[in-house]
Chains A and B, each alone.
Chain A
Amino acid sequence: MSLDVKDIPASEAGDLGGIDHGKSGIRVLKNNIATVLIWAAFLIALIPLVWILWTVLSKGLSTILTVTWWQKDQSGVGAPGFDTNVRGARHAIIGTLEIAAATSVIAIPIAVMTAIYLVEYGRGKLARGVSFMVDILSGVPSIVAGLFIYAVWVTFFGWKLNAFCSSLALVLLMVPVVCRSTEEMLKLVPNELREASYALGVPKWKTIVKVVLPTSFSGIVTGSLLGFARVAGETAPLLILAQYTQFLNYNLFSGNMAALPTLINVNVPNMAGDQVSADRVWGAACTLILLVLVINLLGRLIGRLTRVKS
């Protein structure tokens, strides 16, 4: 944008021209009211963010600053009200990371290849259809994604649920996020670089892999991290698909596996009368929000620092 309207202080902009004396009074007043309201809207929007962070940190930070929180699982828990031991969330942290990692392993290649199709190959009806479906997929509610996997896995095939089912449902949510951000990045790669490569007698696929992708690499990493953060914090499909366990389990494909959202969900019903359950809930919420925010900010930072200057 060449126009620096935003640099003109509101009052000055209101005086522009200075000839029109009728401007004073009601018009300037309106202008000032608008300025105040717009600033206020932004400041009001900060309230929930600060409030949420304050709530979660003030109630959960002391829990997650203990070593046991990171080292122990919840094995040996007693009945609510009798158990005096918060124990750890290692099983849920590992579970969340593993499920999100498995999701990424499946979703990122599909998403990146789909973005490559849309930017480098796609023409005509099929491309428009794919692009439309990416939009639709990004609007599919996470609970519907979970329900769909349930309908396929359990109702249709009659298989037993495992942690991998959660990953599959999350794939549906991650693909559109990563695909759209990759698409944006690929579009930023100047066509001249592709032409330079073609003119050297480099085939199209190598041009994409060796020239286009490296040029947009940091953007793709950013998109993937944002996608990872989104699915790591996602709860709804897990409520249908994940079977909570208090034990640490590394195996995605057999046995139950905990995740931070399900650890929260299991303890929520007891938290009103039981401080230990409440500590577990806020500890897990605190861990989850920090995990998600850190990955999210890391992604943005990578995107900002390594952007190729053109």
Chain B
Amino acid sequence: MGKRIDVKDLNVFYGDFKAVEGVSMTVEPRSVTAFIGPSGCGKSTFLRTLNRMHEVIPGGHVQGKVMLDDEDLYAPGVDPVAVRRTVGMVFQRPNPFPTMSIRDNVIAGLRLNGVKNKKVLDQKVEESLQGANLWNEVKDRLNKPGAGLSGGQQQRLCIARAIAVEPQVLLMDEPCSALDPISTLAIEDLIGKLKEQYTIVIVTHNMQQAARVSDKTAFFNLEATGKPGNLIEMDDTQQIFNNPSKKATEDYISGRFG
């Protein structure tokens, strides 16, 4: 499980506005890659192109290539809906479905994709919640609303929901920025466990977090507001934090940015 992502010369647009320019990178299977960089440099935008979520924003479109192993995500005839089943996503703010119970939230993706078998679903509930380190906390209240959990639990519920559809890749856009430190730690632990099975890409504003959880780090920047964001460099996390090759990276990491 876990597929390799290969991006080549990717430009991302919102209508006429070019938000991200010329990104090429390779993400190894079953690794954690962190995206860092100042706000507005296009990290989220770029992340969303990896499962074509940018297309739900009016005017969002790309030029370039994104390969998942040997499949081109943007080849004609590829259905973005199928892409998103293969490349899952977790968002900044936990967003469990408010009308559904914890159990129904976990299996929402399966249900909505037509899986009806109760045995399969029950098994999947436990498996996914175990996978998201949440099972012990919620196993007694699976039929309670998901919105009743704490923020950190909600976020792990969202992760359980994402892995229940058995994706190959998991994209996380600042998954901890709305959480307290304890919940953040729980998610970081979870990421360490998930990378045994999934390819993980995480956007974070927290340098320590990037340093703690990721194998590779990519630094994005933009020259000025209104200009597109670029990938400045991408390397082993150790390398980026200890000995970056670009001055901009060093400035950003050491807080001398701007």
Contact = CB atoms under 8 A, between A and B. Distances in A.
B85 A308 contact: no
Given A201-B85, A203-B81, A309-B147, A196 B112 contact: no
A206 interface: yes
What bracket does the count of chain A residues touching chain B fall in? 20 to 34
A211 to B, nearest CB: 6
Contacts of A198: 53, 56, 81, 84
Interface string A72-104: 000000000000000000000000000000000
B165 interface: yes
A195 B56 contact: yes
Interface residues of B, number: 29
A197 interface: yes
Interface string B80-106: 011111101111010111110000000
Contacts of B88: 199-201
B151 interface: no
Interface in A188-237: 190, 192-203, 206-207, 210-211, 214-215, 217
A123 interface: yes
A211 B56 contact: no
Contact of A192 (B91, B161, B162): B91
Nearest to B110: A200
Interface in B40-57: 51, 53, 56
Interface of A is mostly: helix
A196 B92 CA distance: 11
A200 B98 contact: no
B42 to A, nearest CB: 18
Given A199-B162, A201-B109, A194 B56 contact: yes
Contact of B95 (A193, A201, A217): A193
Contacts of A308: 98-99
Nearest to B147: A309
A230 B85 CA distance: 45
B66 interface: no
Contacts of B109: 200-202
A201 B93 contact: no
B98 A192 contact: no
Interface of B: 51, 53, 56, 58, 81-86, 88-91, 93, 95-99, 108-109, 112-113, 147, 158, 161-162, 165
23 contacts: A190-B95, A193-B95, A196-B91, A196-B161, A198-B53, A199-B51, A199-B84, A199-B88, A199-B90, A200-B88, A200-B112, A200-B113, A201-B84, A201-B85, A201-B88, A201-B113, A202-B113, A206-B112, A211-B97, A215-B97, A217-B99, A309-B98, A309-B147
Interface of A: 123, 190, 192-203, 206-207, 210-211, 214-215, 217, 308-310
